[in-house]
Amino acid sequence: MARAKPPATTAAKLELPIREIEWAIKRIDDRVVELENFDISTVTRSTPELNALSASIAGTLERAFGENTSAYQRYSAATKLQHVSITISIDGQHRHVDYQGPTQQNITRSIALLKAAQSSLKDDLEFLQENSEPEPPVIGSSIKSRRVFVVHGHDEGARETVARFLMQLAFEPIILHEQANRGGTVMEKIEKHGEVGFAVVLLTPDDEGCAKGGTPEPRARQNVLLELGYFLGRLGRDKVCALKRGTVEIPSDFAGVVWESMDGNGWKQALGRELEAAGHVIDWNKVMRA
């Protein structure tokens, strides 16, 4: 008789350093603001904006507590925003379904859960601040200069890997879709959050394109190339690093841009060198352990 397998153990939560906890608290604040400003009158049976917000909340909680940890599971209901209704019509008549009322209840529940998650992180932060040795000051680098804008396409794995690596080096990754819209256009959001000291651009094969009559080849999304050009102009070439994954066509207009392959493990050391060359202090022990 075969023995039943013991249940898989679930980690409690990630053990984050002080800087990453502060980052997570701020990101949860952003998610709460987005929920509070959401226009409930736009809700229908399927609302893409609501689904995008759910995904954004899930990403924030995963990076704050760790994927599939017990802490994440405790607050995971905050990601369930869209009301799903199953109706059975006996007499064949169309029946009105109220999606807005139940969805508003889900949003209210989500805000409460996010604030509870934030409170838990604040407790962790207070404990670490009282029981940890103070971090050495960053020499020759302002707080603003430790902000790094991460330009990305559809490759979420590449985006999250780079963001986690930057946080381990005491940088604050700025990811556009995680910032509150506040009624602004994409370019207005980029300008608002573009006060950074460095930019990392992820060139991943998300689209296909070619000259008229040619054979389609993998290429980065057009918004990624637009933002690459924007930060080259705003920061200068020495403060922009492109990371390329897979086979991606790089436009000739961007010749001279520093880019590194993400297909191996050497990109972390390469990015660390570029950040150091741009004037940032890098802890190479953390780079090698990442």
The winner for highest mean pLDDT among 18-22, 74-78, 123-127 is 74-78
Rounded-to-10 torsion of CA 42, 44, 46, 52: 20
In terms of Cβ atoms closer than 10 Å to its own Cβ (0-12, 13-18, 19+), residue 153 is buried
Cα–Cα distance measured from residue 74 to residue 198, given in angstroms and rounded to the nearest whole number: 36
CB 50 within 8 A of CB 84: no
CB 169 within 8 A of CB 146: no
Between these two residues, 77 and 14, which has the higher pLDDT value?
Answer: 77
pTM tops 0.85: no
Determine the pLDDT at residue 57.
92
Pairing label, strands 217-219, 172-175? unpaired
Distance between start and end Cα atoms, the chain:
44
- Using pLDDT thresholds of 50, 70 and 90, give the confidence band for residue 138: very low
Cα–Cα distance measured from residue 156 to residue 133, given in angstroms and rounded to the nearest whole number: 35
Q: What share of the chain is helix, strand, coil (3-state, %, to 5)?
A: 50, 10, 40
Report pLDDT digits (tens) over 183-194.
Answer: 566 677 777 777
